Amino acid sequence: MFSKACEYGIRAAIYIGQQSASGRRVGLKDIAAEIDSPEAFTAKILQQLVRAQLLTSVKGPAGGFELTPEQLRTVTLRQLVVAIDGGAMLQGCALGLPQCSAQQPCPMHYQFLPIRDQLNELLRTHTIGELASKVQEGLGFLKQFG
């Protein structure tokens, strides 16, 4: 579905969000441990997200990553996915035709469209803050135990 980079990116953003909501700034090491991802690779992805201004970083001692209240409230899953994976999966043809369009649709087009639309809607309407709350309340997990 999504690339590894995107999966790590989303999980990281949610964890950072959860901690930011409690006023804690978190470092790379902590993040990678909490979402069970390769540290250096995760760093690259977070850099991308900082550049895209979807999250904030602070250098130096007591530095790390955080989401501003504004970011927590407004940054959506969709923005993360687009920043990392690009829009291809959210707009592209299921069978890989160069253009998804009703002009020359692939034979799955009309069946596939509603599903893709729902996915878009799902990503568009969920903010990091929202998902972070879910984790905070113990209703969602960013890694698995046992």
Partner DNA sequence: TACATACCGGACAATTTTATCCTTTAATTT
Partner DNA sequence: AAATTAAAGGATAAAATTGTCCGGTATGTA
Residues that bind a copy of itself (CB under 8 A): 1-2, 4, 7-8, 10-11, 14, 77, 89, 92, 94-99, 104-109, 111-112, 114-115, 118-119, 122, 126, 131-132, 134-135, 139-145
Which entry of DNA, a copy of itself, ligand FES, none binds 19, CB below 5 to 8 A by partner kind?
none
Q: Does 106 bind ligand FES (CB under 6 A)?
A: yes
125, two tokens: 């309407």
Considering only 46, 81, 132, 135, the residue that binds DNA (CB under 7 A) is: 46
Contact 77, 10 (CB under 8 A): yes
Contact 18, 137 (CB under 8 A): no
Distance between CA atoms of residues 73 and 91, nearest Å: 25
Which entry of ligand FES, DNA, a copy of itself, none binds 10, CB below 5 to 8 A by partner kind?
a copy of itself
Binding mask 20-39 for DNA (x = CB under 7 A): ------xxxx-------xxx
Q: Rank residues 60 and 98 by Cβ distance to a copy of itself and give the closer one.
A: 98
Buried b (16+ CB within 10 A) or exposed e, 99-124: ebeeeebeeebeebeeebeeebeebe
Q: Does 143 bind DNA (CB under 7 A)?
A: no
- For residue 95, give the amino acid letter: L
Q: Rank residues 51 and 143 by Cβ distance to a copy of itself and give the closer one.
A: 143
53: left (phi over 0), alpha (psi -120 to 50) or beta: left
